[in-house]
Amino acid sequence: MDSNRLKCSSILLFFSVFLFPAMVVAIGVNYGQIANNLPSPENVIPLVRAIGASKVKLYDADPRVLKAFANTGVEFIVGLGNEYLAKMRDPDKALDWVKTNVQAYLPATKITYIAVGNEVLTFNDTSLSDNLVPAMQSVYTALVKLNLDKQVTITTAHSLAILEASYPPSSGAFRRDLRGCITQILNFHVKTASPFLINAYPYFAYKSNPKQVPIDFVLFQPNSGIVDPVSNLHYDNMLFAQIDAVHFALASLGFNKLPVQISETGWPSKGDQDEAGATLENAKKYNGNLMKLISQKKGTPLRPNCDLSIYVFALFNENMKPGPTSERNYGLFKPDGTPAYSIGFTGNIVANTSSDGPSTSTVKPPSAQSPPSAQSPPSATLPPGSSSTGYLSISSATGRLQFSSIGLFLCLLGFIELAFYTIQSLF
């Protein structure tokens, strides 16, 4: 590493620490790389640490990233792209892939999951969907042969567009045309003790109907919320409603105990004129309040005792992603490594990211809130065939802020001292 690169890395870490203060909240983050201006994987490590992420989700098995993160303790989901599904039906090819892309990096790099395909079912392409379960089975068999099945788990991520209904959450149901394939996937999850992954974006529901969907409901801001007329459960944010709609859909097929993880969720900081809500302030509120929620280790109304496992989308703005402007502006960081906005963590609480300034106020419990709005949000699902982000995503983990104010202060002093001596040595 040359001196200029080391200097840049040190300064970026020093700067990022103050906009993403040292928060030990075990979150996950999606690390997409559809861009030509991103920092090297070595320079990404301090950025991941600066936001307190302990889990990273890739959309491939990039050897540069996996080598760079060796011995960091960061857990990885590696991706096996949709274009490889047909080949992975062949057990020998699956075995070769696992040896090359997973076994070669263990145990130094902590690979814990392989995501086989991404949002396969909502491409409405039978050449993909017919190969999904056989590919998952072949890769799992390869893990068993290599005695890696106890440390690496097989799963696949889905778009919310696999749901036929999602509002109210108790009506959650999978699309009828997909139930056969989904049932096979769910049986695989039960057999291998692996979680069901869903990419959930309240932003899309708001964007499609901003006049009907209350902005505070999607941004985790204080609001009266809604009550599910069947379950009588109260929801004060759309993400929880979406997650529980998935739980209800699973229960309708007899899989009510299957764990659910959110493999992607996020909010764009910029969009086109017709992309309602895609602003820096809303992205700051969504991701800041989301991380606060994760740190509180609170479950959803239907699963209050289950820790949330969520991967934020995404680590960087990616300048080569196709589609509307919003697709290139989901990042927590700009390509130069500076934060896209401050998320507002302070000590062992997360400040409320409202435009009125930091606040430690929390959403009132249902009993203390005003009656639910008569204007209920529409279905939180995406239209069939939509794909939220192509092959990209963000991370998750159950999180807890473990630093007290004193601990945070000492940690910051340590970073300042490290940055000072590192920079001093360069001049």
Q: Which residues are catalytic?
A: 119, 264
Question: What is the torsional sign of CA 166, 293, 21, 310?
Answer: negative
Nearest Cα residue to 340 out of 319, 366, 323, 311: 319
Asked if residue 283 lies in contact with residue 269, where contact means CB atoms within 8 angstroms, the answer is: yes
Q: Which tokens go with 134?
A: 């056989």
Residue 144 burial class via C-beta count within 10 angstroms: exposed 0-12, middle 13-18, buried 19 and up? exposed
Q: Which tokens go with 80?
A: 């096996």
What dihedral angle (degrees, nearest 10) is formed by the CA atoms of 360, 404, 413, 334?
-50
* CA 203 to centroid of chain Cα atoms: 14
Classified as helix, coil or strand, 322 is coil
Q: Which tokens go with 356?
A: 């009125």
Planar angle of CA 335, 339, 341, nearest 5 degrees: 125
Planar angle of CA 325, 329, 335, nearest 5 degrees: 125
Output helix, strand, coil percentages for the chain, rounded to the nearest 5.
Answer: 40, 15, 45
Could you give the CA distance from residue 267 to residue 287 in angstroms, rounded to a whole number?
7
Close Cβ partners of 314 (under 8 Å, ≥ 6 residues apart):
29, 30, 31, 32, 266, 330, 331, 332, 389, 392, 393, 394
Distances (CA, A) of 22 to 16, 19, 403: 9, 9, 8
Nearest Cα residue to 312 out of 281, 277, 279, 286: 286
Strand partners, 111: 76
